[in-house]
């Protein structure tokens, strides 16, 4: 009797544990946890919280709502599984609206304006993350939880990263995203592994196209678990203008603009046209070869009557420049 009762209790505990394990597996669906992850040590990159910081998030991503990898059990759950009704993925809703899909997930629709989906509060009053800012050709590193699917014996397809056009008025369709995939990332690229593979931190890095124009683009993170089981996360990336390059010159010498009331040194070539404008300066600097640059000498137009040969010598002050002498060549029009 005692043994039988003990066996029944043990069996009940076993069944309960198995159900909890299977339930955890059933909820083990991933999502983009961070869109702009920065490693504290680039020589030893790690996706764990202690070894990096997030600088950009998906739309309406709640900060500090739950520990890492646990937002799949949030209310609403963070992961969004696209609908199974139509096997053609191009007709599925690309970004969750919190209502449609095999698992609706959280609301990741485009904000109006875009900024309201960031650094704000969600429907439960929780603070949300900031928007990602980058530049053409910039690198972004995205983080996600393994959710038990990065173990060696499980075959998983790569994560795809797709972008919209610049400044779209609405979210792209799934077909539009599929036509502009810019990267494929290894889902199993995880660090800080331990016995609980549900919360392994994983991620991958990619570079944005170099021809992106300033503005906002929509980015989709998409992952397939089974043959017809797709999960997505959406975020807006603010593309800033790259630093403007300085004008092209062949000299790094800083040249002071000659004063209008101090006559420069000039050599004029013969011309039948009596009016000319100063357009270029040839500079000879100490210990440097001749350097040519373009700089205005004066707002005034020099007018003179030209004879077959005219040589006029003038001195240029050099107190504000490393240049010791200046020879001005004027080309007649």
- pLDDT of 324 higher than 70: no
Distance between terminal CA atoms of the chain? 118
Cα angle, residue 62 at apex, residues 61 and 63 outer, rounded to 5°: 115
Give the per-residue pLDDT at 51. 95
Q: How confident is the model at residue 74 (pLDDT cuts 50, 70, 90)?
A: confident
**CATH class for the domain made up of 27-239:** mainly beta
Give the per-residue pLDDT at 65. 83
Element (H, E) at 224: strand 215-226
Give the per-residue pLDDT at 84. 75
Q: Which residues on neighbouring strands pair with residue 140, listed in sequence order?
A: 206
Give the per-residue pLDDT at 110. 97
Q: Do the Cβ atoms of 36 and 55 come closer than 8 Å?
A: yes
* Three-state DSSP class for residue 139: strand
Give the per-residue pLDDT at 303. 38
Give the per-residue pLDDT at 243. 52
235's CB contacts (< 8 A; 6+ apart) are 32, 35, 56, 57, 58, 59, 131, 132, 218, 219, 221
> What are the backbone dihedrals phi and psi of residue 70, each rounded to the nearest 5 degrees, phi first?
-110, 10
d(CA 32, CA 249): 46
Place of tokens 């919190």: 98
Give the per-residue pLDDT at 15. 43
Q: Which residues on neighbouring strands pair with residue 231, listed in sequence order?
A: 81, 223
pLDDT, tens digit, 9 for 90 and up, residues 77-89? 888 998 877 556 6
Domain boundary assignment for the chain = 27-239, 266-330
In the chain, the percentage of residues whose pLDDT exceeds 70 is 62
Q: Average of pLDDT values for 285-301?
A: 41
Q: How confident is the model at residue 239 (pLDDT cuts 50, 70, 90)?
A: very high
pLDDT, tens digit, 9 for 90 and up, residues 77-123? 888 998 877 556 667 899 999 998 889 999 999 999 999 999 999 98
Q: Which residues on neighbouring strands pair with residue 238, listed in sequence order?
A: 133, 216
Give the residue from 38, 37, 58, 48 showing the smallest Cα distance to 231: 58
For the ranges 199-203, 300-304, 322-326, the one whose mean pLDDT is highest: 199-203
Q: Average of pLDDT values for 146-152?
A: 92
Q: Do the Cβ atoms of 124 and 104 come closer than 8 Å?
A: no
Give the residue from 279, 274, 333, 332 showing the smallest Cα distance to 304: 274
pLDDT, tens digit, 9 for 90 and up, residues 174-193? 999 999 999 999 999 999 99
d(CA 70, CA 147): 9
Locate 66 and state its tokens: 């739950």
């Amino acid at each position: 009797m005692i043994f039988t009762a003990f066996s029944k209790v043990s069996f009940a505990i076993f069944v309960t544990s198995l159900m909890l394990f299977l339930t955890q597996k059933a909820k083990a669906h991933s999502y983009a946890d961070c869109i702009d992850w920065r490693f504290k040590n680039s020589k030893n990159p790690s996706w764990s919280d202690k070894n990096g910081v997030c600088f950009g998030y998906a739309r309406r991503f709640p900060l500090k709502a739950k520990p890492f990898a646990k937002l799949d059990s949030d209310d609403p759950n963070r992961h969004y599984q696209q609908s199974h009704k139509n096997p053609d993925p191009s007709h599925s809703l690309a970004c969750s609206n919190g209502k449609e899909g095999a698992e609706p997930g959280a609301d990741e629709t485009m904000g109006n304006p875009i900024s309201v989906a960031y650094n704000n509060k969600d429907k439960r009053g929780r603070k949300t993350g900031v928007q990602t800012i980058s530049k053409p050709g910039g690198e972004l590193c995205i983080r996600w939880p393994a959710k038990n699917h990065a173990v060696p014996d499980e075959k998983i397809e790569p994560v795809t990263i797709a972008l919209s056009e610049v400044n779209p008025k609405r979210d792209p369709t799934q077909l539009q995203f599929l036509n502009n995939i810019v990267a494929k990332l290894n889902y199993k690229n995880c660090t800080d592994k331990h016995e609980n593979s549900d919360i392994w931190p994983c991620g991958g890095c990619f570079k944005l196209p170099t021809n992106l124009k300033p503005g906002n683009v929509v980015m989709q993170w998409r992952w397939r678990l089974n043959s017809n089981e797709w999960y997505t996360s959406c975020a807006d990336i603010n593309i800033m203008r790259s630093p403007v390059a300085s004008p092209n010159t062949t000299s790094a010498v800083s040249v002071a603009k000659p004063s209008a009331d101090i006559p420069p040194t000039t050599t004029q070539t013969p011309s039948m046209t009596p009016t000319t404008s100063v357009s270029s300066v040839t500079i000879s600097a100490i210990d440097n070869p001749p350097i040519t640059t373009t700089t205005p000498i004066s707002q005034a137009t020099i007018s003179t009557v030209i004879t077959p040969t005219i040589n006029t010598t003038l001195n240029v002050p050099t107190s504000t420049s490393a240049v010791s002498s200046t020879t001005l060549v004027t080309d007649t029009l």
